[in-house]
Structure formats: C-alpha cells, structure tokens
C-alpha cells in the first residue's frame, strides 16, 4: 500500500469501532485510498465545473490525473519567495486520517506531574548549592 492516506495518532495495526462495526486502521486507509483514486476523475470534473479556479484546470489538463497525483506525483516547478530560480520537483496529493481522543491519555497527565516534580527537586537542589557556595565563600 502506498502512503497516500497517512494516519495521525493511530497505527495501522490498531482497530477502530464504529457502532457495531470494527476495522483495522490499515484497511480503512486502503479503502479510502481506493475510493479516492477511483473517484478522482469525477471529483476534479465536479470541482472544475463549479469553480472558476484556474489551479484545478492544471490538474484536469493531464489525461492521467486520477492516479498520478496520488502515487508518483505530478512534475512541476516551484518558485519560492526570495529565490531567483525555479526548483523542480513533484506535487503529490495526500490525505490524513486523524484520531482525536475525547480525553487526554492518563500517561500524558502522569508525565506532566513527573516533570513538575522534577522541577521542584531541581529548584531545591539549586537552593542547597547556593547555600553551600555562600558557606564556602564565607
């Protein structure tokens, strides 16, 4: 499987539950990728017909725009602000599947508490060092 659909906050081997149905994150990504590629022609045609956006005509202009944009990318050149030359490269379309937990994980809270505790210990140690330095310098 190519990485057309990326996932954030979840791994391919993890399982999602939607009502009474479960699926692997990897399988969902594969299905989304397949559907996007299969429908890319129709999606782009619809966008071009409803918009007067010239950027979409660039996508439509290629006879292989359905798969190429998702796989190897479309060759182009980029002119960055402040540069004098075009930089050759490719543009590739990617989709992100993101899992957003309702509540932060317990581990994160515990880690924050540990960091606060370590900060307190460090401040106490600094105080002790300062006192020792004052006593040694006296």
How confident is the model over 82-110, as pLDDT tens digits? 999 999 998 888 888 888 888 876 666 67
Residue 26 placed within a domain: yes
Q: What DSSP assignment string belongs to 73-138?
A: -EEEEE--TT-SSPEEEEE---EEEE---SS--HHHHHHHHHHHHHHHHHHHHHHHHHHHHHHHH-
Confidence (pTM): 0.55
Work out how many domains the chain is built from and give that number: 1
The residues, ordered by sequence, that sit 6+ positions from 47 with a Cβ below 8 Å of its Cβ are: 53, 56
Q: What is the pLDDT of residues 40-89, one digit of tens each?
A: 777 777 766 766 555 665 665 555 455 677 788 888 888 899 999 999 99
Residue 61 within any structural domain of the chain: yes
Residue 87 resides in a domain: yes
The answer to the question of residue 36 being in a domain is yes
Which residues does residue 5 pair with via DSSP β-bridges, in sequence order?
95
Q: Is residue 62 part of a domain?
A: yes
Query: Within a domain: residue 89?
Result: yes
Q: Which domain holds residue 45?
A: 1-98
Residue 58 lies in a domain: yes
Would 84 be classed as within a structural domain?
yes
Give the count of alpha carbons within 13 A of 1, CB side only. 15
Q: What is the pLDDT of residues 7-35, one digit of tens each?
A: 888 889 999 888 899 989 999 988 988 88
**CB distance 80 to 104 below 8 Å:** no
């Amino acid at each position: 499987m190519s990485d057309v659909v990326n996932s954030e906050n979840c791994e391919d081997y993890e399982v999602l539950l939607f009502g009474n149905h479960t699926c692997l994150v990897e399988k969902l990504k594969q299905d989304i990728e397949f559907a996007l590629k299969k429908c890319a022609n129709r999606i782009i045609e619809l966008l071009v017909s409803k918009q007067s956006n010239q950027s979409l005509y660039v996508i439509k202009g290629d006879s292989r725009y359905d798969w190429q944009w998702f796989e190897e990318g479309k060759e182009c050149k980029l002119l960055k602000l402040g540069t004098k030359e075009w930089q050759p490269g490719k543009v590739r379309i990617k989709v992100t599947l993101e899992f957003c937990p309702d509540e932060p994980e317990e581990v994160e809270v515990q880690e924050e508490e540990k960091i606060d505790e370590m900060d307190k210990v460090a401040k106490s140690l600094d105080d002790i060092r300062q006192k020792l330095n004052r006593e040694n310098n006296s």
